[in-house]
Structure 1
C-alpha cells in the first residue's frame, strides 16, 4: 500500500493515490467509490473493499476517523465557500483534515485557481443537478450529436483548466466510452456506464435508503439525485 505524506505533513498509507488513478487509464484497472459523511460509513466502505470516498468538505475530519486509508475527495459546496479566498481556504482546510482531492462543479476559473496551488481537482460534467435549469430537467446529457460534441469540448476545457479527474453524471454509456478514449482526465462514472476509471454509487442507493425506488432495467446501478438508470435508459 502506498505511503505518502498528507496535506498536514502526516505520514499516511492510502489504498490509491492520484498517480495510481492516472496510471490506471493505461493499465485498465478500475476503482470503486461511494459517499461517506460519518466515521461509520467510512469504516463500512473500507471493510467492503471500496477504495475511494466522497465527503462534504466539512465532514472530512469525521470520515477520516473511520478510515485512515481510503482515498477521500472533499466536495466543495456552492454556498459553503463563495469568494475565491473562501474557496481556497475551504479546500485547504479539507485537505489538511485528511482529504486527498477536492471536487467542484463551479466554472473553469475556480478549477484553474485550485490547480494552480497543485491541489488535485475533480470537475463535474454531464448532468450537474444544481445546474439542471440549463437543460430543462433532470435528464441524461449527450443523447444527440450536438450535445455529445458540446460535452466533449467541456471535457477538453476542464482538462486545460488543470483538473486531473471528472465526475461524469448520467452521460449515455456509448458517448462516455468514446469521450474516455479521447481525454486525459481520470473518469468517474456516476450513472454513465462501465467505461470509466472509477465506478461511483451513492451509499444511500446501495443501502436502499431512498424513499422513491429508481427504475430497474439498468445493471450498473442508479444515480441518487436524478433516479436515472446508468446504462439502458440513458
Structure 2
C-alpha cells in the first residue's frame, strides 16, 4: 500500500513555477537548521547525502528536500549504477529529488528510472577548473553555451537545475523558457528559486563569502561568545578538580556503612 504524504511533490513544485510563485531554498547541514527552515516555512532544502538521515528528514518536516549526490570521488559515486543505488537508498529515507552534476549519460540513467534530477549549470563548482571561480555567461557565446546546456538537460528529462552565478538577464531568460525549475544562486530575481547557504544567512561562513550571499543574523559573534564560555567552563572544572571541590556529595553514589564494612571484612581490609 502506498501511503500519502503531506510533503510537496515534484508535481507541486512544478505547479509553483507555473503560478510564478517564488521558491525559497536553503542549503543546511544540521538538524537544528533543517527544523528551523521547516518552522519558518522555507519551501526547499538542499542536504548533502553525507548529512541526510531519517532524523534529518524528520527535522525537515514539510520542506521539499534535494539530496546532494556528490560528484566522483567526493561521494564514491562514479558509475551510473553507483548513482542509481544511492538515489534509491535516499528515496527510501525520504529524499524528494537528487542533485547530480555527473555526465549527461548518468543524469539520463537517473531520469530514465524516474528519479527527479536537479543538475547544475553556469558556474559548476565540481568543474571549476574549466572556468575559474567567476560568473559564467557574460558574453553572448558563453550565454548560449549555458542555454544549450539547459536544453540538453531538458531533453534527458531533468526536473531542475541549480543556476549559479550567471547574469540576471540570462537567469531570467532561461527560467522563463524552460519547464525545469531553475534554482538560482547568484542568478538574479528572475530565477524560479532563490537559493542560499544557511551559514551565509546566519553569518558564520568559513572562508569566501560570495557576492550573492546576504546575512540576516550574526551567528559568528554568538559562536565566538559560546566558545569563550566553553573554555571558561572547562577551566572552572579543572580548578574544581584540582581543589577537590568536585565531585561533591550530590555527585556521588552512596553505599551504606553496613554494606561497606561487610565488603572490607570479606577482603580482610
Out of 48, 67, 73, the position equivalent to 1:56 is 48
The number of residues matched between the two structures is 211
Larger CA Rg, structure 1 vs 2: 2
Q: What value does the CA root-mean-square deviation take over the aligned residues?
A: 1.9
Give the match for residue 77 of structure 1.
70
How far apart are the structure 2 equivalents of 1:10 and 1:59? 25
Shift, 1:207, TM fit: 0.7
Q: Verify the 8 A CA contact 1:40 1:66 in the aligned structure 2.
A: yes
The structure-2 alpha-carbon separation of the partners of 1:139 and 1:49, relative to structure 1 and needing over 3 Å to count, comes to: same
Structure-1 residue corresponding to 2:259: none
CA distance in 2, matches of 1:23, 1:66: 25
Contact 1:13 1:68 in 2 (8 A): no
Indicate conservation of the 8 Å contact 2:200/2:209, yes or no: no
- 2:190 aligns with one of 185, 191, 195: 195
- Quote how far apart the aligned CAs of 1:30 are: 1.0
SS of residue matched to 2:163: strand
Check whether the contact 1:191–1:221 (CA below 8 A) recurs between aligned residues.
no
Partner of 2:174: 179
Pairing partner for 2:60 from 67, 72, 89:
67
Q: Which runs of 4+ in 1 moved over 4 A?
A: none
1:1-234 pair list within 5 angstroms: 9-14=2-7, 16-61=8-53, 62-78=55-71, 79=73, 80=75, 81-135=77-131, 137-212=132-207, 214=209, 221=214
Give me the TM-score of the superposition, normalised by structure 1. Answer: 0.84
Q: Residue in 2 aligned with 1:230? A: none
Match of 1:231 in 2: none
Alpha-carbon offset, residue 173 of structure 1: 0.5
1:158 Cα offset (Å) = 0.6
SS at match of 2:21: coil
TM norm structure 2:
0.74
Any stretches of 5+ residues in structure 2 without a counterpart?
A: 216-269
Who is 1:232 aligned against? none
- Structure 1 pair 166/215, CA: closer, same or farther in 2 (3 Å)? closer
Distance 1:86 1:214, change over 3 A: closer
Tell me how far 1:24 sits from its aligned partner: 2.4
Match of 2:260 in 1: none
| Alignment partners' CA distance in 1, 2:137 and 2:150 | 12
Residue 187 of structure 1: CA displacement? 0.8
Q: Please tell me whether the aligned partners of residues 60 and 98 of structure 1 are also in contact (alpha carbons under 8 angstroms).
A: no
Quick one: structure 1 residues 215 and 114, their matched pair in 2 at CA, closer, same or farther if it must change by over 3 Å? closer
| Structure 1, unaligned runs of 5 or more | 223-234
Deviation at 1:181, TM superposition (A): 2.0
